[in-house]
Structure 1
Amino acid sequence: MIPPAGHPGLSAWSDESFQEKDSAGFYIIAAAIIEPPVRDAAREAMLAQRGRRATAKAHWTEMDHREKKRAARAVAELDGVHVVAVGSPVPFRKQERARSKCLTQLVTQLHAFGVECLFMEAREPQLNQRDIRTVQSARFGLPKGTAFRIEHVYGGAEPLLWVADVVAGACRAHQLGRGEYWAELVDVVVDFEVDTDC
């Protein structure tokens, strides 16, 4: 998929998934690029995926097979593109290093799509600061004067993060040999591999 031209100032919403396992481990960061005119519709589509969890966010790991298929199909029907970094290997206790490597490469890819702000689900304050430092460092690899920032938001408050959760979850399942969810998304995803050097 070719990055669209002439669409500066876009935002992306991201989520992650990982598997620590010696040389077979991997780290995934998925970022959903949703343009302003369709964001409200995308939020409504994600709110509809909560099912029985009407007061909580739609979360991939809590869905059964049928719900995962439905969620993947709903994401595939959204007017957006999803950029996915898949880093490996990820040995035990190396997930933060792998996250940093994936995030660094993701910034470059998102910049090519015209993204200027990346929203990530908030974690502990010190881990959020680590993400901020990674993005600040990654900006040095972008053209001089490039605007790119990161903001952390609470996952339950922003359904657009749930789009990325579905993409990351489907990618994880694909990495583990279950490709039926990923097959729903393949036409709206740009994925790339990252050497984590772990």
Structure 2
Amino acid sequence: MQAFVDESRRGDTYLLAAAVVELPNLSRLRTRVRGLLLPGQREVHFRRENTARRKFVLARLAEFGARVDIYRTDCRANEERARQKCLIRLVDDLLDVEGRRLVLDTRDERNKHDLLTIRTALGKRARDSHLLYEHADSAWEPLLWIADMVVGCYGLGGDWARRTAPMIGSVQRLD
């Protein structure tokens, strides 16, 4: 099991999304998602897609069997703290299913917060878990696009959340 993670913020709610992929499906799903690129596009990104394109991409992701787990919490006091709270829970959930890899969309200088949080969450289990974790630029990892598109649309609510429903594995409310 591998997880590809992106985030979104909607008002006072912080959303961390993990596209969860089983190893045998990794290459096939990556190829299919990369096939969604338009000529000249480097990545599929929620904020850069118009309404019709978002609907099309969501429908295709659902057809591909994409699964996204969402972690949500209040972020009024501190967005970074909210992220780390969600990340701790995600790491615990990955360990429960013997996850092997965690890829987070890079946040440049803020990556250090994630790395510290992951190390802390792993604690004494780090060596036994065999969990590899890293940050990647979303332009180079198409599976990050799944988390981005699903969490972006889910966060809008209404019809957008309905469209993401077939892909949502779970929603963990951490408030």
Q: TM-score range by the shorter chain?
A: 0.7 to 0.9
| Residue 49 (structure 1) shift | 3.1
TM-score scaled by length of structure 2 = 0.87
How has the CA–CA distance of structure 1 residues 69 and 129 changed in structure 2, closer, same or farther, with 3 Å as cutoff?
Answer: same
CA distance in 2, matches of 1:124, 1:111: 26
| Residue 80 (structure 1) shift | 4.1
What one-letter code is carried by the residue in structure 1 that aligns with 2:79? Q
Which residue matches 1:59?
45
CA distance in 2, matches of 1:47, 1:143: 32
CA distance in 2, matches of 1:180, 1:51: 25
CA distance in 1, matches of 2:89, 2:38: 34
Identity of aligned residues (%): 25
CA distance in 2, matches of 1:27, 1:146: 27
Q: Secondary structure at the match of 1:33?
A: strand
How has the CA–CA distance of structure 1 residues 69 and 32 changed in structure 2, closer, same or farther, with 3 Å as cutoff?
Answer: same
What one-letter code is carried by the residue in structure 2 that aligns with 1:183? R
Does residue 124 of the first structure (1) align with residue 108 of the second (2)? Answer: yes
Which residue matches 1:167?
150
How has the CA–CA distance of structure 1 residues 117 and 40 changed in structure 2, closer, same or farther, with 3 Å as cutoff?
Answer: closer
How has the CA–CA distance of structure 1 residues 41 and 146 changed in structure 2, closer, same or farther, with 3 Å as cutoff?
Answer: closer
How has the CA–CA distance of structure 1 residues 180 and 114 changed in structure 2, closer, same or farther, with 3 Å as cutoff?
Answer: farther
CA distance in 1, matches of 2:20, 2:111: 21
Does residue 12 of the first structure (1) align with residue 31 of the second (2)? Answer: no
| Residue 144 (structure 1) shift | 8.6
What one-letter code is carried by the residue in structure 2 that aligns with 1:123? R
Superposition CA RMSD, Å? 2.2
After the TM superposition, which parts of structure 1 deviate over 6 Å for at least 4 consecutive aligned residues?
A: 141-144
TM-score scaled by length of structure 1 = 0.78
Which residue matches 2:36?
49
CA distance in 1, matches of 2:19, 2:69: 7
Q: Is the 8 A contact 1:83 1:110 kept in 2?
A: no
The structure with the greater share of residues assigned to helix is: 2
Query: Aligned ranges for residues 1-198 of structure 1 at < 5 Å?
Result: 10-19=1-10, 21=11, 25-51=12-38, 54-88=40-74, 90-91=75-76, 94-125=78-109, 127-140=110-123, 145-174=128-157, 179-189=158-168, 190-195=170-175
